[in-house]
Structure 1
Amino acid sequence: MHITLVKKRLESGEPCRKCAEVEALLEARGVRGLISRVVWADVSEPDSEGWALARRHGVETAPFFIVETPDAPPQVITSALRFIKLAEAARAGSSGGALGAARGAASHEAKSSNEAGGSDAAVGVSGDSASLPAPPTSAAGGAGEAPAPPGLLVSEVEAAAAELAQRAPQHIVRWALTRFGAGLKLAFSGAEDVALLHMAVEAGLPFRCFCLDTGRLHPETHRFIDTVRKHYGVTIELLSPTPGPVEALVRQKGLFSFYDDGHKECCGVRKLEPLRRGLADAACWMTGQRRDQSPTRSEVSVLEVDLGFRGAGPTLFKVNPLANWTLKQVWGYLRAEGVPTNELHERGYVSIGCEPCTRPPRPGEHERAGRWWWEAETQRECGLHVSTRG
């Protein structure tokens, strides 16, 4: 089996960020040695071998893998995670088994691409061109820069949301990554919303990821964040609260004032303030909200304008790809895809937040009943998600 890795080289001579992240992931998973050769799609050389291979195979993302075996046509894989599954199978088994894995991975990828297609024009999807732009021409003005992602107008939200509501979460994730590019930030809570991070990595498009480190998370959640970083080879930015307001609150009211005064004040300094900072350079953010999580989230839309925070532009958008999935569907996906999960789930925790404010729900309770359980059910939101409905 011969495997070619095609990477994009920027004008600076450095590999693109995604290519560097994939290289690190291959090394971490111990499969980098299975790569037979590396070729480059050089943004300053339209005739470079990498561009030629991209054109030949109709590929618009970078990096990508070409798997060749003597008794089958070349198979192209654009997902690093699917390639790793193939490579691990090849390392553990025979070449015949590896070829079967390659065919399976390619077939699964084609199926996913078809699912993400359909009526994309209705919601303005432009494919993966933001990840690997068309090669530059030698004519004047051919700068070779990736085109800016198309973004979204407020007037388009209602129609786009109606269209996306009929689609699978994987499609919604790819749509958002294509629409907003690196302007999209994925909010990772350290719980079952790791499904979104998995989908984003599978899409092979640029994104940024952050987690609110309130200073009161479970140790298990911190270990899980490290596990996810290593497993996917991604950067997860930890957004911590500004020390001054936290110190003032603790000095005045102690560490557990929320049991007497409610959680809003503590969440304000430990969650809302760092989130405002984190979203200041974003065009859109992605969350794991679902309608079945609690009564306060029963009308969550897959796409909405965020009225509670400001981003880099005049409008901040929010996309909730899991809105229409149930908890059972999320866990079915996590198990089927072999996604790592927080060990707290094995102890009965469902929704996971700060350690003092989270307990496992009791039988018959909804999954967020274990959050701020001493408060009225209508008050069990921290303020991160402002409803767009009356």
Structure 2
Amino acid sequence: MTTVVTNSLQVAKWESAFSNGYVQAGSYIVTNAVFRQSEFISADADRFRVRVTDERRADAESVEVVLWTEHPGDSAYDAASRVMTLPRVSPGVFASTNLLLVSDWDDAHFDTTVYGVAPDSTNRLFLSQLLSSVCGSYVDGWGQTNVFSAPVGVDVKSVGVDVAIMRTNGVACIDTLSALAQVTSAKERFAQANITVEMGSLVFFDAPPGVDVDNWHVVSTNNQFQLSPDARSVVHEALASVTNGTSNRCLIFVPGIRDTPAAEVAGHTTASYWYIDPLDAPYTDHCLISASQIAPFVSAHELCHALGIYAHVSDKCNLMFSTASPFMDVSASKRLYVEQIPTLRSGGHVQ
């Protein structure tokens, strides 16, 4: 094993945590713990360890450190302090087992019994967010308290989002808290890519005249690579209401969405890699979200399309799985592959 000393840590992607045919919960494939309990932590490239060198305790079998996380602007992402026992690896040198940073509550507190992993697994998972710090303290053999910390995030970039909510006859299609929860979910998912999701404006806009909000569709009936006139109208009205200009990506909440007249969907991105008609250029790379089919990670999924990820995947645990996951547990469709990260980070909308 190669050990790398680092001054910064990253939110884990749970790489190699899920594999076919082993343990299932809720009919979703969960973890490869059948070979070795808690292996999912040790298999992740972003795992980390804490090592202590204390010559005064050269004969000790173990030492204890206290670890926690802190976020400067949102205590909801603080992990409470916990005592970690570090066994001796050589005289006076002690190291923890593998640990992971996670970015949402469900990952940090999942039911280890249901998923067949070691009961101490959640003690090795630390809730965090980009801009958090992993902190610790250790009382050495001289009786001195040593405090240390490492920031969360490496080469952190950002993408700005606005939220536009359609009103029909003066009634919003979704409440503000539910819309903002979509932004929070996107922030937690994009932490895996070292991208912060920066909230811009939240606005309401009226359904465009002439658009039947119950029957409109996004794709032109004449050309699958062209937006329909109704879609252009909806996106135009949303963007015209936004107060931050056009640099942000817009999450546009509407009562319902159809790709085509017969296909109702939870979300649809006006992706520039698909809608190539020059007339569509002002409306591309924004996300239409169905208020009637809302699910936890729809906006994060669609935002991935807006940032350049073309394809869906067959892995039910990946954020780009084709069907919106109705729940938020560890087996939900919310992971990113390492190979998906460069595409997200290299797009023109990411700064």
Compare the two structures and name the one with the higher strand fraction.
2
Superposed pair shares fold, TM > 0.5: no
Compare the two structures and name the one with the higher helix fraction.
1
Instruction: Give the TM-score normalised by structure 2.
Output: 0.31
